[in-house]
Amino acid sequence: MGRGGGMGNPVNVGIAVQADWENREFISNISLNVRRLFDFLLRFEATTKSKLASLNEKLDILERKLEVLEVQVGSATTNPSVFN
């Protein structure tokens, strides 16, 4: 990854080391952003799972309520003498 030129020259060696550090900095930045992206994905997964769980619980409650209402309406329709 070093730049072209004579390696024996100390000036060229210094330029090569600087370029190497620049490349390392770029890679570290890329890896840091990827890790941030990974953290975001993990947090997004967690929040999405919790939201889905709460939504599922809510739907379960609604389903139970609907079953209760269905039973009540069914009992009322099967026994119309109650409303007479």
Partner 1 sequence: MSGATVEEVQIQEALLFSETIKGLKTLRSQLYSAAEYFELAYTQQDEKQAVTNNLKEYAVKALVNTVDHLGSISFKVSSLIDQRFSEATDADLRISCIHQRTQASQACVDREGISQQSLVITAPKYHKRYILPAQGQSMPSAMPNFREMNKVVVTGRASQMHQVFSAAETRAKEKKQPSLRKLQSIARLPSQRARSASPAQRAHPMAPAKNATPTNRADKRSESPVPSTAPAPLTRSASLSKKASLLKTSSVRAQAAVSQPKKLAPMRTQVDRSDDSKDGERTPKKSKKFLKSILSRRKSRKDEPLPSYFDDY
Interaction of residue 69 with partner 1, rule CB under 8 A: yes
Contact (CB, 8 A) for 19 and 5:
no
The binding track of 15-54 with respect to partner 1, each residue x by CB under 8 A or -, is --------x--x---x--xx--x--xx--x--xx--xx-x
Smallest separation (angstroms) from partner 1 to the CB of 52: 7
- Closer CB to partner 1, residue 9 or residue 76? 76
One-letter-per-residue 3-state SS of the chain:
CCCCCCCCCHHHHHHHHHHHHHHHHHHHHHHHHHHHHHHHHHHHHHHHHHHHHHHHHHHHHHHHHHHHHHHHHHHHHHCHHHHC
Residues at the interface with partner 1 (CB under 8 A): 1, 3-4, 23, 26, 30, 33-34, 37, 40-41, 44, 47-48, 51-52, 54-55, 58-59, 61-62, 65-66, 68-69, 72-73, 82-83
